Structure 1
Amino acid sequence: MDPMNKMEQLIEQLNQYNYHYYTLDQPLVSDKEYDRLYDELTALEAQTGVQLPDSPTLRVGGELLDGFKPHRHLAPLWSLDKAQNEEQLLLWNGRVQRLIQDYNTKHPENSLPAPSYAIELKFDGLTLNLTYTDGKLVQASTRGNGVVGEGILAQVKTIKSVPLSIPYQDGTIEVQGEGIMNLSVLAKYNETAAEPLKNARNAAAGALRNLNPRTTAERKLSAFFYNVGYSDGIEFANHQEMMSFLRDNRFKVNPYVSYHDDFSSVMDTLHSIVETRSGLDYLIDGAVIKLTDMRTREVLGYTDKFPRWAVAFKFEAEETTTVLESVTWNVGRTGKITPLAKVEAVELAGVTVQNCTLNNIGDIERKNLKFALGTRVFIRRSNDVIPEILGKVTGEQDGQEIIYPESCPACGFPLEQRGAHLFCNNSLDCKPQIVSRITHFASRDAMDIETFSEKTAEQLHDELQVHEAADLYTLTFEDLIKLDRFGEKKANNLLAAIEQSKGRDLSSFLYALGIPNTGKSTTKVLADHFRSLAAVMAATEEELVSLPDIGGIVAESIVSFFADPFNQAGIQKMLELGVSPKEPQAAAAVTDSFFSGKTVVLTGTLHQLGRDEATARLEALGAKVTGSVSKKTDLVIAGEKAGSKLTKAQELGIPVIEDENEFIRLLNDN
């Protein structure tokens, strides 16, 4: 037989065996027989110098890659709204029922069916987006920001449950799933690993985002698939048809998918999943509930972030006990000293926990932890947040004392206690503060200097004496090219990003400065009101407190910041080096709107309008949108899950709109 024909025959045969072994868990041949055929294929590839696109030999991993290339998804990968408890889940279902009823009332001739539900496990791994064209796997990427991800095709090809080719060959499709490492595989890997892996989630994510595909292959990952996000020509009537399509095209679909016509059955199944969760061979952190009917999904649509037809039910936080071993003290951007607890390693919600949050010395006192070193404490992990210590197991003061530092652990400067916190006031010569300030200045919501990281800030500080944000604009190619890990491309990219940042808007620039006690909403208020950097810098406390969202403490912080000669000099230096914050354009005045002249606070989740869209529409109608409720607030728009802001508004007697449909009607009436 011709070698090429023989190779094609072997590939088809081996891929069939792989599919039955890794996807269906139904081996057709012995390992010895499989290895004989695999070796025959390897020999033919060596003889011909050809490796066909769907050859199983590709799964061992290839050469080391230069870097990840961005991939723009053909359709957005949406996040899911979260229900933290059964009450929130029932609220979600009630909203779905109302939306369907409203639609059916308006469209009786084309009404939607009664809702039915699919329940899937929410895997704790790394989201994968696979692109197939004419039946061939041509790209694989991470979720990224939902629009653009990182291309990881070489890594994903090493996952043996991912088909390299599929029967469906009519154009292009995108399929979403989750890359995981089975717990049994992790345990076996760690038996011989030089550096054992700590948990399955990080093991999977680290393997898939590793520039060496051979490392990915060594981890022996798996993947489950649950969605067709884009297709040139195929449509599904319901979720069941989509799952059948995935199975028919050799994708591994998790067997724990169930369908329900009654929501009480949904709740019962969720309870069952929680009870059996610990027996699974992979990590899950919840379950996903979806409406099955595709036309209903299309009608209900999306908010700016989430589909209205699906929700993630998050499991309750898990708690355990362990021993508090030590406390270290870290220095933040503002000089605040934060304690970090190291505990005896313990498994919690599928993760090995060794570090826990302690917040401040007030937290230590409140939780009776002052004399807790060496004793057993309660810890809790909620979702992916770093675990926190809840308190001592016993009420006795029977442990060693946690000694509060008197001087800065980084620079040795005497510490000052303000309220429950300790502070280092050596802002000009304390490395962690300097590095954090520069990192904050370059961050996405601030000057958005692409490719910049905390490691970059530390390297520039140590080797090029970059001690303030203004120093970034003095960097040259000659400065950067002599640094470790800085080639020509990286140096030029960083310089281009720094240059591009010079024209950021005034609000972003003010936020980048890191003014104490101010966040993005406050800097936007400043930019919109004063409209120039000079006016903001010259503002008095009296002028500032008259603005929405700004009280006495914030006003004092702003005035003090701009009165500091060091800050003034840094800003002046940036201006001289070409930084020119873009001043906001004056909007046409609206005087006849219901919202014109009102100070409005948005709180809770708006499902028909996203927060950004609601803010933009309110401002276009002459309102001022702020982030906190005070006596200056004229109106509060309260969406679902509204919390303390709604309570405060009610206490102050401020008018509240809690019906989102009424809010939208008022917007549309103007």
Structure 2
Amino acid sequence: MTTPSTRHADPAENPYVEDPPTDFDPVDDLSADEAAEQAELLRAAVREHDHRYYVAADPLISDAAYDALFARLEELEAAFDLPTEGSPTRRVGGEPLEELATVEHVAPMRSIDNATDAAAVREFDERVRGGLADAAEAGDLTDFDPADLAYVCEPKFDGLSIEVIYEDGEYVRAATRGDGREGDDVTEQVRTIPSVPGRLRGDDRPARLAVRGEVYMPRDAFEAYNEELIERGEEPFANPRNAAAGTLRQLDPAVVAERPLDVFFFDVLAWEAGEDGPERPARHRDALDAFRSLGLRRNDRVEVVDDVEAAIEYRDAVLDARDDLNYAVDGVVIKVDALAHREALGSTSRAPRWAFAHKFPPRTATTAVEGVTVQVGRTGRLTPVAELDPVDVGGVTVSRATLHNPAEIEALGVNVGDRVRIYRAGDVIPYVPEVVEKRSEGTYEFPDECPVCGAAVERDGPLAFCTGGLGCPAQLERAVEHWARRDALDVEGLGPERVEQLREAGLVESLPDLYDLTAAELAELEGWGSRSAENLIAELDATRNPPLDDFLAGLGIPDVGATTARALAAHFGTLDALLNADEDALREVDDVGPEVAASIRSFLDREENRAAIAGLRERGVDPEPFETDAASGPTDALDGLTFVFTGSLSVPRGDAQAHVEAHGANATSSVSGNTDYLVAGESPGRSKRDDADAEGVPVLDEDAFADLLAERGVAWPPAGDA
């Protein structure tokens, strides 16, 4: 049993740890002080339950009880406007980001030298022993005894490496590895991962701790998530690593929160004890034990060995067990245990001399292509899949493999009947790297019509797309889901399962059909009641006069996200003006270049998309003209100025952009010769700073920006954020 001193919450003092009550008094019966006290107890208890469930795998309470505690905490924070900084409720995702800022790591995140053969591992051991002997002879290491050398062996995870920083026990930042010196700021995204604690456990902790971890998607969760994507007509991820990497770079933390990510922590990047904190452990094995006491999840397959032969045996054992693990591994990492030995060995510019990765060999097999199936994704992208004579690849029977796109088929020269090599290397979705025996004539001819709706297929470089747009049934479900997203029309109650149900029932065969639905029709469907039916109709009715930028974002125009949609709305003002704009007019919009302009015009010119927009308008869904908010001052105070924002400001970046636009300025996402000022908050992106230097654009911090606005009679921050 964990002692109270290392827990987030002591059950003797916190009623929500063991056998918690879940029948709460109405929030209206609580005073502000009572609500704050209860919320603090709930936060501590939820942190403890998160640790026990996600890190220790030893939950104390049922899922239902946990959900009740979490919901009560959310209710209190909302009802009493309690601060949520550091609260477990932040895990559900904050405001969408405009971009990922670039941040510098506290210590280099280097690569590791690697090889698949055991001889290279033995050579690594010889270099380590020789380097330590030389260091001892030079006086850089005291009394090196070869018998003291030990290695820590760990699985080499096939995920996305991150840096996570804690200050005074509180989570403050996370960043991807990037180039090893600096990476993308993914603080809000990583905050949503349940196994990443928002606060370290216990009181005996360093003042500042930076750790390296690996974000991954568990195999079972990955397979279930891919099944959902396929059912929704979306393109599945090729493997868990791609799924983790793609998820972590999502700009909307709420999207990250919905996906099943996990993390293992495996190294210390920086450890500052502070006045009363513990010193950094002298051995890596002890640092990993400290991770566990601090609430940082570490892998249980770590072993300490005394010689290189035992390290090689460890690798072979993990290789034998790899298919039984619920996470992807592509080898093992062998690390010198003692910190003093590591410091004596040092690092090259690319890799530490004290670590080596003994990788697994790739898994391949050969088999025959029996057919090719073409799948249609959410954007209309066509993906060819080879149907194979089933073959065992590394203990897994493979019957399908991706061919990626038409250009890949042409490059391979593959056709039905050919024998091909299948490459898996741990991937759940294998692919075809080469044809090993040509048994057919010619190359597979990619269809020129969509296999689902019969619309013409259009090539875009190596890719192929169905031109059916919103009229293609394969794209319909995802189009409806996209329309209902929070960053579009924000229709609650219209998730993937219900969209699929509506389509299968024949109630929604196009986007405009949503607005023909009646509560009576919905109530007859399985799983619906009169209340849920009426709620959805009310949600849809509330979107009949949406803001123009939300309407444009909801259409799912390729390359048009929320920011570009707002720029289009602000530039053209009305939907009709945009519909009639040619490519030259579109290119006049900030952030819209030639490719994006062509993409927008192509989407709007397609008959199916025009019909869908017309159908929406016929049903009373007509977006309001875009108008800037002039309530806080004159609309021309900043006329003629163009601002770019980077880093974290005291208000959301979208609010900052809207505020300057309301006073006549332009707000764009990239620095150019037309930019007047770059406003840099905390952790600004390096690329924008470099672009500003190159273009001679002045860089203002938030205080200087506020002074500039004040000189022109514009208040900062915007009303409501002061």
Partner of 1:160: 194
For the residue of structure 2 that corresponds to 1:401, the secondary structure is: coil
Encode CA deviations 1:598-640: one digit per residue, 9 max, x unaligned.
xxxxxxxxxxxxxxxxxxxxxxxxxxxxxxxxxxxxxxxxxxx
Say whether 1:197 aligns with 2:236.
Answer: yes
For the residue of structure 2 that corresponds to 1:93, the secondary structure is: helix
Taking a change above 3 Å as real, the CA distance of residues 305 and 404 of structure 1, as seen in their structure-2 partners, is: same
Taking a change above 3 Å as real, the CA distance of residues 93 and 190 of structure 1, as seen in their structure-2 partners, is: same
Matched to 2:254, the amino acid is R
Percent identity between the two aligned chains: 29
Encode CA deviations 1:42-94: one digit per residue, 9 max, x unaligned.
22112211143332211111221111111111111111111232222222122
Partner of 2:93: 61
Shift of 1:204: 1.3
Encode CA deviations 1:455-498: one digit per residue, 9 max, x unaligned.
9785599999xxxxxxxxxxxx99xxxxxxxx853353487889
Equivalent residue for 1:42, pick from 71, 74, 92: 74
CA distance in 2, matches of 1:220, 1:40: 24
Partner of 1:17: 49
CA distance in 1, matches of 2:325, 2:140: 45
Equivalent residue for 1:3, pick from 4, 13, 35: 35
Shift of 1:104: 2.8
Taking a change above 3 Å as real, the CA distance of residues 390 and 250 of structure 1, as seen in their structure-2 partners, is: same
For the residue of structure 2 that corresponds to 1:399, the secondary structure is: coil
Shift of 1:130: 0.8
Shift of 1:144: 1.1
For the residue of structure 1 that corresponds to 2:669, the secondary structure is: helix
Partner of 1:583: none
Say whether 1:118 aligns with 2:152.
Answer: yes
8 A contact 1:373–1:400 mirrored in 2: no
Partner of 1:380: 423
Matched to 2:334, the amino acid is I
Taking a change above 3 Å as real, the CA distance of residues 361 and 61 of structure 1, as seen in their structure-2 partners, is: closer
CA distance in 2, matches of 1:280, 1:361: 33
Q: Which moved more, 1:100-109 or 1:343-352?
A: 343-352
Partner of 1:566: none
Aligned ranges 1:173-322 → 2 under 5 Å: 173-193=209-229, 194=232, 195=234, 197-198=236-237, 199-233=239-273, 234-322=279-367
CA distance in 2, matches of 1:47, 1:341: 52
Encode CA deviations 1:310-331: one digit per residue, 9 max, x unaligned.
0112211110345546799xxx
CA distance in 2, matches of 1:361, 1:26: 49
Say whether 1:137 aligns with 2:174.
Answer: no
CA distance in 1, matches of 2:174, 2:671: 28
Taking a change above 3 Å as real, the CA distance of residues 410 and 134 of structure 1, as seen in their structure-2 partners, is: closer
Taking a change above 3 Å as real, the CA distance of residues 173 and 493 of structure 1, as seen in their structure-2 partners, is: farther
Shift of 1:260: 0.2
Taking a change above 3 Å as real, the CA distance of residues 214 and 503 of structure 1, as seen in their structure-2 partners, is: closer
Partner of 2:652: none
Taking a change above 3 Å as real, the CA distance of residues 362 and 373 of structure 1, as seen in their structure-2 partners, is: closer
8 A contact 2:420–2:432 mirrored in 1: no
CA distance in 2, matches of 1:142, 1:356: 27
8 A contact 1:357–1:388 mirrored in 2: no
CA distance in 2, matches of 1:255, 1:28: 21
Encode CA deviations 1:427-477: one digit per residue, 9 max, x unaligned.
xxxxxxxxxxxxxxxxxxxxxxxxxxxx9785599999xxxxxxxxxxxx9
Taking a change above 3 Å as real, the CA distance of residues 276 and 74 of structure 1, as seen in their structure-2 partners, is: same
Taking a change above 3 Å as real, the CA distance of residues 362 and 354 of structure 1, as seen in their structure-2 partners, is: closer
CA distance in 1, matches of 2:362, 2:44: 47
Shift of 1:22: 0.7
CA distance in 2, matches of 1:494, 1:355: 43
Partner of 1:332: none
For the residue of structure 1 that corresponds to 2:171, the secondary structure is: strand
8 A contact 1:381–1:388 mirrored in 2: no
Q: Note the aligned Cα RMSD (angstroms).
A: 4.2
CA distance in 2, matches of 1:327, 1:191: 17
TM-score, length-scaled by structure 1: 0.55
Matched to 1:184, the amino acid is D
Taking a change above 3 Å as real, the CA distance of residues 461 and 359 of structure 1, as seen in their structure-2 partners, is: closer
8 A contact 2:205–2:294 mirrored in 1: no
Encode CA deviations 1:239-278: one digit per residue, 9 max, x unaligned.
1111011111000101010110021111111111111101
8 A contact 2:363–2:426 mirrored in 1: no
CA distance in 2, matches of 1:341, 1:57: 42
8 A contact 2:141–2:344 mirrored in 1: no
CA distance in 1, matches of 2:406, 2:308: 40
CA distance in 1, matches of 2:296, 2:187: 16
Taking a change above 3 Å as real, the CA distance of residues 109 and 291 of structure 1, as seen in their structure-2 partners, is: closer
For the residue of structure 2 that corresponds to 1:110, the secondary structure is: coil
8 A contact 1:104–1:112 mirrored in 2: yes
8 A contact 2:161–2:212 mirrored in 1: yes
CA distance in 2, matches of 1:403, 1:35: 52
Q: Which runs of 5+ in 2 are unaligned?
A: 1-32, 274-278, 375-382, 447-458, 462-591, 602-640, 643-665, 676-686, 695-722
Q: Which runs of 5+ in 1 are unaligned?
A: 329-339, 412-454, 465-476, 479-486, 505-670
Say whether 1:97 aligns with 2:161.
Answer: no
CA distance in 2, matches of 1:388, 1:269: 31
Taking a change above 3 Å as real, the CA distance of residues 69 and 360 of structure 1, as seen in their structure-2 partners, is: closer
TM-score, length-scaled by structure 2: 0.52
Report how many aligned residue pairs link the two structures: 421
8 A contact 1:319–1:381 mirrored in 2: yes
